[in-house]
Amino acid sequence: MNTTLLTVADIRHVIAEVGLDTLMRQMIDGLEVAFREYTPETFVIPTRAGFHYEQPYPGLLEWMPSLRSGEAATIKVVGYHPHNPTHHEIPTILSSIGVYDTRTGLLAGLLDGTFLTALRTGAASAVASRYLGSSDSRTMGLIGLGAQAVTQLHALATVFSFDRVLAFDIDADASRSFAHRTAFLGLPVEIVPREQVVAEADILCTSTSVPVGCGPVFNDVETKPWLHINAVGSDFPGKTELPYALLRRAYVCPDFPEQAQTEGESQQLPPDQIGAALYDIVQNPGPYAQYQQSLTVFDSTGWALEDAVAAKLMLDHAQRLGVGSVIGLQHVPTDPLNPYDF
């Protein structure tokens, strides 16, 4: 039986054919559709689990399964190793995504998940900002200018028309290179102190590698009344990015409430202070439209549903374009009752 494999080169090929902007737009739209269709019956999504270790370097390896009932299961395995860029010159977040045919259990597809993780995390922030941000947002703020910041800005610029981008990172190299890395967007990037980013932004994305217990990544300052924050970095017990006082004043929308309460900004909140999940708001936006003019936070821990949508988008493009290789990974003997029948 055969498995479709999409390597880095294949994904590069798809991107070259489809275009990054189109891909991002399709990812945002696909995610919005999936959020609208989500029910606990159509999708089964357990909270992720993983291994956390300190040796040889601090790291986290997590598996994020999701099941689209009657169709396919998707399991992303994602590594979070903050020393990767400095020690190995590779990204902090690396992943691969397996898609399984639930009729037989066969691994139908396997693809790089690193690019797709960045893409879907950006897209999720775009969907959240579309529902909770002010529609005439002009100033985008970013705290933490690593790999995720690139797709955050790309995704948000797909949905909003920015004329200012205010950015901050504690790392001078990341700050210096950010304008270059996002030059394809044609937006003016200003590196400014973090308080200025927070005070002047209409929409803010935090995507830092702040260590456990070392948040928040900025002090509570006065913000625009309609500020919408996409808090992307917190994804581990004890790791949070936002000041508690700000969080208490905000309407907080988690991507996946069960997970956000143990890994997200929502860790800081009592359960009755946590708002509706993003899929809830997408399914029933009316009562939440009022929050577009007040302080809101999208508590984005990363939801396995997003990975399933991203994997399907990429595999569908690859199939249409004839990209990827088909390999006989799994052993299917001529006689199913004989494991030695090669």
CB of 326 to its own copies, least distance (A): 11
* Candidate residues 28, 76, 114, 153; the one interacting with its own copies per rule CB under 8 A: 114
Piece of 31-39, 218-226, 237-245, 333-341 that binds its own copies (CB under 8 A): 333-341
CA-to-CA separations, 234 to 65, 114, 223, 261, 301, in angstroms, rounded: 19, 18, 21, 11, 6
DSSP state of 60: E
- Hey, which residues between 127 and 186 contact its own copies (CB under 8 A)? 145-148, 150-151, 154, 174, 177, 181, 184
- Hey, which residues between 36 and 55 contact its own copies (CB under 8 A)? 44, 46, 49, 51, 53, 55
- 98 lies in the site for its own copies, by CB under 8 A: yes
CB of 146 to its own copies, least distance (A): 5
Give dist(CA 193, CA 227) in Å, integer: 18
Interface pattern 189-218 for its own copies (x via CB under 8 A): ------------------------------
Query: Are the C-beta atoms of residues 187 and 154 closer than 8 Å to each other?
Result: no
Compute how many other C-beta atoms are within 10 angstroms of the C-beta atom of residue 137.
Answer: 21
Query: Are the C-beta atoms of residues 72 and 95 closer than 8 Å to each other?
Result: no
* Candidate residues 22, 106, 240, 261; the one interacting with its own copies per rule CB under 8 A: 106
Contacts of 188 (CB under 8 A, 6+ apart): 163, 164, 165
Residue pointed to by tokens 């988008």: 313
Nearer to its own copies, 44 or 212 (CB): 44
